[in-house]
A and B are shown apart, each in its own frame.
Chain A
Amino acid sequence: MSILAWPIYVSFLGMLVLLLGNGMRSATARRVALGTMLLAALLTFVGAARYDASGGWAEVARVPWIPQFGIEYHLAVDGISICLLLLTAIASVVGVLFSWNIEHRTRGFYAFYLALIGGVYGVFLSRDLFLLLVFYEIAIVPKYFLIAIWGSTRKEYGAMKLVLYSFVGSALSLAGIVAILAMGWRQLGAPTMDLGVLGNVNWPHGFQLWVFPLMFIGFAFLAGLWPFHSWAPTGHVAAPTAMSMLLAGVVMKLGAYGALRTGVALFPEGLVAWQGTLVTLGVVGILYGALVALVQQDFKFVIGFSSVSHMGFVIIGLLTLNRYGLSGSVLQMFSHGVLAGLLFGVVGRMVYDRTHTRQLGDLEQMQLNKYLPFAAGTFVVAGVAAMGLPGFSGFVAELSILTGAWSAFPGVAILAGVGIVLGVAYTLRAMRRAFFTDPPAGASEGGGHELPPITIQEKVGALILLLASVVVGLYPRILLDYIMPSVDGLLATMAKGGAL
Chain B
Amino acid sequence: MNGFPVITLLTLLPVVAGVALLLGRPAGATARRFAVGAAFLVLLGALGMWIGFTPGDGAMAYVERHAWVPALGVDYFVGVDGIGLLLVVLAAILTPMSLLSGSLPKDRPTLYYALVLFLEAGLIGTFTALNFFHWFIFWELSLIPAFFLVKLWGGAQRDAAATQFFVYTMVGSIAMLLAFLALFLATGTFDFLALARQGQDGKLPEALAKVVGWSGLSGKTLAMLAFTGVFLGFAVKVPCMPFHTWLPDTYATAPTPVTMLLTGAMSKMGVYGFVRILLPIFPDQLRAALPVLTVLAIATILLASWSAFAQVDLKRMLAYSSINHLGYCLLGIFLVVKLNPAVGDPAASRAAIMNGVVLQMFNHGLTAATFFCLLGMLEERSGGLRSMGDFGGLRKVVPIYAGLLGITAFASLGLPGLNGFVGEFLIFRGAFGISPWAAVVAAPGLLITAIFLLTFYQRVFLGPLEPRWAKLPDMTVNERWLVAPALVLMLVLGVMPQLVLGVINPAVTQLVEAVSR
Contacts and interface: CB of A to CB of B under 8 A. Distances in A.
Contacts of A380: 144, 148
B181 A389 contact: no
Interface string A233-248: 0000000000000000
B181 A402 contact: yes
Interface stretch (A111-119, A310-318, A419-427, A450-458): A419-427
A127 B141 CA distance: 42
A152 B295 CA distance: 59
A403 B69 contact: no
Given A402-B178, A480-B69, A421 B167 contact: yes
B496 to A, nearest CB: 40
A390 B71 contact: no
Contact of B211 (A407, A424, A425, A484): A407
Interface in A403-421: 403, 406-407, 410-411, 413-414, 417, 420-421
A319 to B, nearest CB: 15
B380 to A, nearest CB: 22
B178 A428 contact: no
Nearest to B147: A428
Contacts of B513: none
Contact of A477 (B69, B171, B174, B211): B69
B137 A391 contact: yes
Given A402-B177, A407-B211, A432-B163, A390 B185 contact: no
A436 B167 CA distance: 17
A477 B137 CA distance: 17
Contact of A399 (B171, B177, B211): B177
Residue among A407, A432, A475 facing the most chain B CB atoms (10 A cut-off): A407
Residue among A399, A425, A428, A480 facing the most chain B CB atoms (10 A cut-off): A399
B167 A428 contact: yes
A414 B178 contact: yes
B184 A403 contact: yes
Given A407-B212, A417-B175, A390 B181 contact: no
Contact of B177 (A387, A417, A424, A477): A417
Contact of B71 (A406, A413, A420, A480): A480
A420 B185 CA distance: 20
B481 interface: no
Contact of B174 (A400, A421, A437, A480): A421
A396 B137 CA distance: 11
Is chain A's interface secondary structure helix, strand, loop, or mixed overall? helix
B174 A484 contact: no
B166 A428 contact: yes
Nearest to A423: B170
Contacts of B144: 380, 384, 389
A432 B159 contact: yes
B345 interface: no
B141 A389 contact: yes
A341 B181 CA distance: 29
A201 B483 CA distance: 77
B86 to A, nearest CB: 25
Contact of B185 (A403, A417, A425): A403
Interface in B139-184: 140-141, 144, 148, 151-152, 159, 163, 166-167, 170-171, 174-175, 177-178, 181-182, 184
Contacts of A391: 137, 140-141
A476 interface: yes
B213 interface: yes
Contacts of B400: none
A389 B214 CA distance: 27
Nearest to A414: B178
Contacts of A421: 167, 170-171, 174
A389 B69 contact: no
B141 A390 contact: yes
A391 B122 CA distance: 12
Given A389-B141, A402-B177, A476 B167 contact: no
A380 B148 CA distance: 10
A411 B170 CA distance: 20
Nearest to A323: B71
Contact of B152 (A395, A403, A436, A475): A436
A390 B184 contact: no
B425 interface: no
B503 to A, nearest CB: 31
B243 interface: no
A432 B213 CA distance: 41
A406 B185 contact: yes
B135 to A, nearest CB: 9
Contacts of B151: 436
A380 B143 CA distance: 13
Contacts of A395: 137
A432 B167 CA distance: 13
Interface string B115-151: 0000000000000000001001100110010001001
Contacts of B140: 389-391
23 contacts: A327-B71, A390-B137, A390-B141, A396-B72, A399-B133, A399-B177, A400-B72, A402-B177, A402-B178, A402-B181, A407-B211, A407-B213, A414-B178, A417-B177, A420-B174, A421-B170, A421-B174, A424-B166, A428-B163, A428-B167, A432-B163, A436-B151, A480-B71
Given A428-B163, A428-B166, A432-B159, 12 more contacts: A390-B136, A390-B141, A391-B141, A406-B178, A406-B185, A407-B185, A407-B213, A417-B177, A421-B171, A428-B167, A436-B152, A480-B71
**6 A-B pairs with the lowest CB-CB distances in the bound complex, closest first:** A390-B137, A410-B214, A403-B181, A417-B174, A424-B170, A417-B178
